[in-house]
Amino acid sequence: MSDPVLSVRDLVVEIPTRNAVLRPVDHVSYDIEPGEILGVVGESGAGKSMTGNAVIGLLDRPAAIAGGEIRLKGQRIDNLPYEDMRRLRGKEIGMVFQDPLTSLNPLLQIGDQLTETMLAHLEITETEARTRAIAALDEVGIPAAASRIDSYPHEFSGGMRQRVVIALALCAEPSLIIADEPTTALDVSVQAQIIALLKRLCRERRTAVMLVTHDMGVIAEAADRVAVMYAGRLAELGPVRDVVQSPRHPYTEGLMGSTPLASRGQHRLRQIPGSMPRLGSLPDGCAFHPRCPKAQDRCRANPTPSLDADQGRAACWFPVEQLEDAQ
Amino acid sequence: MLAYIIRRVAQSILVLLVVGLVAFSMFRFVGDPIDNMLGQERTQADIDRLRTELGLDQPFPVQYFKFLGGAAQGNFGVSYRQGRPVSTIIAERAPATLELAAVSGFLAISIGIALGVFTAIRRDGWVSNVIMTVSLLGVSLPTFLIGILLIYLFSVELDLLPSFGRGEVVDLGWWTTGLLTSSGLKALILPSITLGLYQMTLIMRLVRSEMLEVLRQDYIRFARARGLKERTVNFRHALKNTLVPVITVTGLQLGAIIAFAIITETVFQWPGVGLLFINAIQFVDIPVMAAYLMLISVMFVGINLIVDLLYFWVDPRLRADRGGAH
């Protein structure tokens, strides 16, 4: 097995507030191999995006990494000075944001945005950059790329703009892409195209992908492995087929039960009762216990051990043993 | 684009006509010029003769259209006080005001934008906080007070700069300039600071708040995520987007600089059109007042037109005729 592209160990992100220190990311560990797509799912506020921002070094103050390690191809990057980290961004780690309508600078032609990114990272001339920009647009499926390169973002549709964003994220050939809800703002029909595009490009280039989303459908479609996050911690981590078909953590089970699947043929979707606790008022013990149907005294008293990247699938005292019949 | 310009020019002409009408009708309440022009020893016959001579006995609409007809040909009549054509007087005085306004405007825009960008990027630094606090003074102090304070400090106490006048000027035939002599440049310093300070602080605060807003946008985050240099992010991506709304206000402020030069010119006895206008009001010199107001409104309208065209240049989304596919 080759070295993982990204290796996160016991990552802790903290936000100091007046009353308390919040931990939106709490001892999270995972690896991503070359060419692998790791899906990160969870509810809003579970710490998914915060993990991605921590990896690329773009946490908004006052949030900051408070512990753990992030390694990119073996090199530690969580403690790099700003300027060194800046050189890695775009070059080694690309990022795709949620809303393609707002991710592109409205006043600059997309060709300029592509060439400036390449010129910032690669030793090439402006002419070469332009040629490669056209090739990049062509690769993400922009029709007549050579004539569209001088267009402004507003001259493209949402789906086309997200293709441009992906071209921008990939144009310096990074080894890791962090895609933060890349399809959430798009039409359903376009979502599938974008996911297929992302999948194809990453397979071809052996780019590792961290795919952050709250959409289990996207995960099932695209990811090789899944990390389920709840209240800043990893609840479950494993191959996508195992996690989707036989979830071990009661939270994952609830999440699967509340996802509409045509094959299941149920009339009503199940819900997980209650809502995720706020970071300022996490319960003692396992953070999920107030909503967990299987909670026992041990869950209320003792926090679950955090998941290691390579062993154990669910951070739960009483993991689900086998696939339960979905009613 | 051309159709747009033609439409805007037509609108501008309409605005000028209305301004002319309003200004002209107001002059009827300023006073009777005849009182000032004839001495104490006047007879009713003198008054009637002069009134007929000046055309003041004619009904208001007739006077107005006569004025418009003349103005369209660049003829604003003869000054009641100086007995010379108004267009000549204004041409003599305009360079002083325009030079003052240009220097003030340049200072206001360049320093205002620079400080605005600085205080936005270094949002939490103590230098920014000092600049922001001081800028409150610039916004809140009235122009004449700033002028008087500057005169007191630099002319009376330190005796470094002249307190009034334009200094030595060089006559280029069609233009007199104070920019070529050291005394002219020295004389320009205090009035241009006085005139431009309010606009400078205003532009600075506007640029700062707009830039802070832009720096929060997704495309700035994305530019950072692409590993662009901080300088590129701030100036290529953020500043350009900041300038779109700033252009409007700045354009209007430039018009205001020319218009409000009256106060600064009075404080510094600057021989420009503003001072000319103040003197004209005291003497009820209607042709001069009318010409001045028309001149100011032409400038306002012209600057607004330029501002609208600048939008097209800065913001590609407005260039509808580029014909993008949607």
Question: Mapped to the 3 state alphabet, what secondary structure does chain A carry?
Answer: CCCCCEEEEEEEEEEECCCCEEEEEEEEEEEECCCCEEEEECCCCCCHHHHHHHHHCCCCCCCEEEEEEEEECCEECCCCCHHHHHHHECCCEEEECCCHHHHCCCCCCHHHHHHHHHHHHCCCCHHHHHHHHHHHHHHCCCCCHHHHCCCCHHHCCHHHHHHHHHHHHHCCCCCEEEEECCCCCCCHHHHHHHHHHHHHHHHHHCCEEEEECCCHHHHHHHCCEEEEEECCEEEEEEEHHHHHHCCCCHHHHHHHHCCCCHHHCCCCCCCCCCCCCCHHHCCCCCCCHHHCCCCCHHHHHCCCCCCCCCCCCECCCCCCCCCCCCC
Least CA distance to A169: which residue of chain B? B226
Q: Give the strand order in the sheet containing A6-16.
A: A21-32, A6-16, A64-72, A75-76
Q: What is the pLDDT of residue A79?
A: 86
Q: pLDDT (tens digit, 9 = 90+) per residue, B251-267?
A: 878 888 888 788 888 88
A176 forms bridges with which residues in the sheet? Answer: A93, A208
- Name the token pair of A247: 């979830």
Least CA distance to A114: which residue of chain B? B226
Chain B contact present for A86, CB below 8 A:
yes
CA distance B248 to B93: 28
Q: pLDDT (tens digit, 9 = 90+) per residue, B132-166?
A: 888 888 888 888 888 889 888 888 888 888 888 88
Chain B contact present for A76, CB below 8 A:
no
Half-sphere exposure of B221 (CA within 13 A, CB side): 19
Would you call B219 and A90 a contact, using CB atoms and an 8 Å cutoff? no
Position B325 pLDDT exceeds 50: no
Q: What is the pLDDT of residue B214?
A: 92
Q: What is the pLDDT of residue A113?
A: 92
Q: What is the pLDDT of residue B323?
A: 42
Question: pLDDT class for B324, splitting at 50, 70, 90?
Answer: very low
- Contact residues on chain A for B324, CB-CB shorter than 8 A: 151-152, 154-155
Q: What is the pLDDT of residue A311?
A: 60
Chain B contact present for A120, CB below 8 A:
yes
Chain A contact present for B237, CB below 8 A:
yes
According to DSSP, the β-strands at A64-72 and A233-239 are unpaired
Q: What is the pLDDT of residue A264?
A: 61
CA distance B219 to A106: 8
Position B67 pLDDT exceeds 70: yes
CA distance A102 to B219: 6
Q: What is the pLDDT of residue B320?
A: 59
| Residue limits of CATH 1.10.3720.10 in chain B | 86-320
As a whole number, the mean pLDDT across chain B is: 84
CA distance B94 to B276: 10
Among the listed residues B85, B70, B59, B55, the one whose alpha carbon sits nearest the alpha carbon of residue B20: B70
Question: pLDDT class for B306, splitting at 50, 70, 90?
Answer: confident
H/E stretch holding B308 reads helix B286-314
Arithmetic mean of pLDDT, B109-129: 90
Q: Which CATH number fits domain B86-320: 3.40.50.620, 1.20.1250.20, 1.10.3720.10, 3.30.1370.160?
A: 1.10.3720.10
Arithmetic mean of pLDDT, B31-59: 79
Position B78 pLDDT exceeds 70: yes
- Contact residues on chain A for B325, CB-CB shorter than 8 A: 155-156
Question: Mapped to the 3 state alphabet, what secondary structure does B166-207 carry?
Answer: CCCCEECCCCEECCCCHHHHHHHHHHHHHHHHHHHHHHHHHH
Would you call A120 and B226 a contact, using CB atoms and an 8 Å cutoff? yes
- Contact residues on chain A for B236, CB-CB shorter than 8 A: 108, 116
Going by the DSSP 8-state scheme, the letter that residue B217 receives in this structure is S
Would you call A105 and B317 a contact, using CB atoms and an 8 Å cutoff? no
Residues A183, A186, A190, A196: what is their CA dihedral angle, to the nearest 10 degrees? Answer: -10
Chain B contact present for A103, CB below 8 A:
yes
The interface predicted TM-score of the complex, written ipTM, equals 0.85
CB atoms within 10 A of CB B320: 10
Among the listed residues B300, B116, B324, the one whose alpha carbon sits nearest the alpha carbon of residue B203: B116
- Contact residues on chain B for A109, CB-CB shorter than 8 A: 316
Residues B265, B269, B271, B274: what is their CA dihedral angle, to the nearest 10 degrees? Answer: 30
As averages over each run of 10 residues, the pLDDT of chain A (327 residues) reads 82 89 88 91 86 89 88 89 89 89 90 92 91 91 90 90 91 90 84 88 89 87 89 87 83 79 66 79 80 79 71 73 47
Cα–Cα distances in angstroms (integers) from residue A101 to residues A91, A164, A188, A201, A327, in the given order: 23, 11, 16, 22, 41
Q: Does residue A290 contact residue A254 with C-beta atoms inside 8 Å? A: no
CA–CA min distance A88, chain B (Å): 7
Q: What is the pLDDT of residue A212?
A: 92
Would you call A155 and B240 a contact, using CB atoms and an 8 Å cutoff? no
